[in-house]
Structure 1
Amino acid sequence: MIALVAAPSSLGLRPPYPGAVPGAWRAPEALREAGLFDRLAAAAGARDAGTVPTAPYVDDDAVRPAGRVRNEAALVDHSRRLAQRIDEVLDAGDAPLVIGGDCSILLGAGLALARRGGTGLVHLDGHTDFRHPGNSDACASVAGEDLAAAVGLHWAAIADIDGAGPYFAAARTVHLGHRDDDEHAAEARRTLGLVVSAAEALGRPETLARAAAPGQLGAPGRPTAQLAERIRATAGTGYWLQLDVDLLDPSVMPAVDSPDPGGLDAATVTALLAELAPAAIGASVTVFDPELDPDGRYARLLADVVVEGLGGLGSALHR
């Protein structure tokens, strides 16, 4: 059974302007309003496993000392509490689906899984999120640094919470979806088990999704299955599946913190998720910003993607 966990955090994001709070923390409630929770309950028997709240977001740029990320104490505390909730879901024999929030919630998932012996990671994101102190002097926002932190390449305060880091082995970590101008892509390719850009995923015939049938965003076809096989071969069985919504092209999903052209279409993302979800121990969905979606159309689209793509989450493992 899927267990839905709301993680309404914006702690890892930069403020949209000084003193402001990024809107990603509103995503779980907006997606609930769009029918996501009810639809997963009806289609997949999902249950509501509650909310893991955070301390208030603070724009601490003026007072934060060097060597610390934004909202560091609150972010670490939230990671610990989210890890505990994920542990409870897994102990119950269910598959956690964490609805964020920004992608710093990956640390909570990683902390939970590292304590249980570790697993692989499939990181689907429009950016590599591979900024870290070894390649940048601009480290501050974990939402742009979560993948680097997850494989141990960040300050210990976030990359080694409670001595559990690295949360995922680099050799079992897959990233897919960055744009060609991502400045850290080359390092990610040298470090991780598999890295596939958005252009590579869309440009190779063997990775293209079959055209969606009427009423279906992503009817999985054999070409998408071939890409999923490559991913599973690296991550192994029982990986964590992280979907950052900016994997989608801004023409499809502009309601994100950092939209960049060259992303994937909804049918391709849905089909890929449907191939990957059954072998995943759990998943997280992040960085949707309802404040950029005044009429709710993008929340409804994202609900479609998640229900159709992740409805089989953990089905090959949790039987």
Structure 2
Amino acid sequence: MISAPTNLGLRPPAPASVPGTAKAPEALREAGLYRRLAERGAHERGVVLPGRYADDAAPGRLRNQDLIVEHARRLAERIATARADGLVPLVIGGDCSLLVGAGVALRRAPGRHGLVHLDGHTDFRHPGNSDRCASLAGEDLAAAVGLHWPAVADIDGLSPYFAPADTAHAGCRDDDDALDETTALLGAVVPAARIRREGVAAAARRILEVVDRDGLDGYWLHLDVDILDASVMPAVDSPDPGGLDAAELTDLLAALAPRAIGAQVTVFDPDLDPDGGRARLLADVLVAGLEALGERR
């Protein structure tokens, strides 16, 4: 378990305020997540702290861009060290900008790796389809497959961190702006409505056809908890209706986690969970869904 309490990739929720995702690891600790995973054999491998948040977006630059790149390099080193020790990293964040750090780590490693991107949005805004690029947490998948500005998509000359054909996305809503683009480009795209209509098992099979095939040396599992329906998980940056329920997400994670080489959990915002109830629900989902993380890698 690697804590990565970053909020650098998100826009400010209100003027002169900062996003609350940096508090997520400790809120989940309070909800029992770390203790329960430790009881199942997990080890803590410290915290990768971010720099100080600044709303400094400018034309051609992300907000907090230099801090994001610096944090990505340090997170990549921590992930690589854990893997070298024979462990399967679980990065507990934090916002979706963490995907860049994971991508750098795996791109530096021997072999070729796939990506499973579970998210309520495609996070595929990039300079080729939008003039509003500013927040990497809404643009992380585009950066991961090499379509963003080189400063974030080509750190240390490693672009793309994941080949589009080796990438599967699941969980976006049917009205997602980039649904057509991602469907044409990525190995698989399975919207939330299709998961609910055809079942979790069918969705998992479609994803594994892309990321668990000959020629790949494993896959990274990215989870943005806004894949859950807004009625289930309102404590996120962009809650939307039409998502999965807790049981569906648990089953999907359980189907995908055993063959993953690592995972990350993002975008839970404790500022929007004053009584801690959503943190406890999320801890239940993660313990059940990720209990077998990496066991069949």
- TM-score in terms of structure 1 length: 0.90
Output one character per residue of 1:267-296: Cα deviation in whole Å (capped at 9) or x when no partner. Answer: 000001001000000000000000000010
2:162 & 2:269 partners in 1: Cα distance? 27
1:228 & 1:200 partners in 2: Cα distance? 12
Please list, as runs of the form range in 1=range in 2, the aligned pairs for 1:34-53 lying within 5 A after superposition.
34-42=31-39, 44-53=40-49
Output one character per residue of 1:112-163: Cα deviation in whole Å (capped at 9) or x when no partner. Answer: 0011133000000000000000000000000000000000000000000000
- The reply to whether residue 142 of structure 1 matches residue 139 of structure 2 is no
2:69 & 2:15 partners in 1: Cα distance? 23
Extract unaligned runs of 5+ from structure 1. 208-223
- The reply to whether residue 59 of structure 1 matches residue 35 of structure 2 is no
**1:229 Cα deviation after fit:** 1.9
Q: What is residue 228 of structure 1 aligned with on the other side?
A: 204
Q: What is residue 295 of structure 2 aligned with on the other side?
A: 315
Q: Is the 8 A contact 1:172 1:236 kept in 2?
A: no
What letter matches 2:264 in structure 1?
S
Which of 163, 173, 183 is the aligned partner of 1:179?
173
Which of 156, 159, 171 is the aligned partner of 1:162?
156
**1:17 Cα deviation after fit:** 1.3
2:226 & 2:80 partners in 1: Cα distance? 27
1:167 & 1:265 partners in 2: Cα distance? 30
Please list, as runs of the form range in 1=range in 2, the aligned pairs for 1:111-122 lying within 5 A after superposition.
111-116=104-109, 117-122=111-116
Q: What is residue 212 of structure 1 aligned with on the other side?
A: none
Aligned alpha-carbon RMSD (Å): 0.9
Q: Is the 8 A contact 2:95 2:137 kept in 1?
A: yes
- The reply to whether residue 285 of structure 1 matches residue 265 of structure 2 is yes
What letter matches 2:219 in structure 1?
Y
Which of 102, 114, 118 is the aligned partner of 1:109?
102
- The reply to whether residue 260 of structure 1 matches residue 240 of structure 2 is yes
Moved over 6 A (4+): none
**1:236 Cα deviation after fit:** 1.9
**1:18 Cα deviation after fit:** 1.9
Q: Is the 8 A contact 2:190 2:203 kept in 1?
A: no
Extract unaligned runs of 5+ from structure 2. none
1:304 & 1:72 partners in 2: Cα distance? 34
- Give identity over the alignment, percent: 64
Q: Is the 8 A contact 2:221 2:260 kept in 1?
A: yes
**1:225 Cα deviation after fit:** 3.2
Question: In structure 1, the residue corresponding to 2:45 is in which secondary structure?
Answer: strand
**1:306 Cα deviation after fit:** 0.4
Q: What is residue 200 of structure 1 aligned with on the other side?
A: 194
- The reply to whether residue 8 of structure 1 matches residue 5 of structure 2 is yes
- The reply to whether residue 273 of structure 1 matches residue 273 of structure 2 is no
**1:180 Cα deviation after fit:** 1.1
